Amino acid sequence: MRLVFLGGPGAGKGTQAKILNKKLGIPHVSTGDIFRSTIQKGGDDAKLLKSYMDAGKLVPDKVVLKIVASRLQEEDSKNGFILDGFPRTLDQAKGLDEILQQKNLKITGVFYFEINPDVLVDRLVSRRVCENCQAPYNLKSMPPKKDGICDLCGGKLIQRPDDQPDVIRKRFQEYIECTAPLVDYYEKQGLLVRLDASLPTEKVSQIIVELVQEMLPK
Ligand code: AMP
The b-or-e profile of 149-176 (16+ CB within 10 A means b, else e) is ebeeeebebeebebbeeebbeebbebbe
Residue 199 confidence (pLDDT) above 90: yes
C-beta of residue 89 within 8 angstroms of C-beta of residue 178: yes
C-beta of residue 86 within 8 angstroms of C-beta of residue 68: yes
pLDDT score for 117:
82
**Per-residue pLDDT averaged across 195-208, rounded?**
95
Residues 95, 68: Cα–Cα separation, whole Å: 10
CA 30 – ligand 1 centroid, Å: 9
Q: Omega of the bond prior to 217 within 30 degrees of 0, cis?
A: no
How do residues 15-62 score in pLDDT, each as one tens digit?
999 999 999 999 999 999 999 999 988 977 899 999 999 999 999 999
Q: Is the CB of 86 under 6 A from ligand 1?
A: yes
Helices (H), 42-85: 46-54, 61-71
Atom of ligand 1 nearest to the CA of 35: 8
How do residues 127-163 score in pLDDT, each as one tens digit?
999 999 989 999 998 999 999 999 999 999 999 989 9
Backbone φ and ψ for 182, nearest 5 degrees, come out as: -70, -25
Q: Is the CB of 58 under 6 A from ligand 1?
A: yes
Q: Is the CB of 28 under 6 A from ligand 1?
A: no
How do residues 52-94 score in pLDDT, each as one tens digit?
999 999 999 999 999 999 999 999 999 899 999 999 999 999 9
Pocket-testing residue among 58, 62, 66, 89, ligand 1, by greatest number of atoms within 8 A of Cβ: 58
pLDDT score for 122:
85
Residues 87, 65: Cα–Cα separation, whole Å: 9
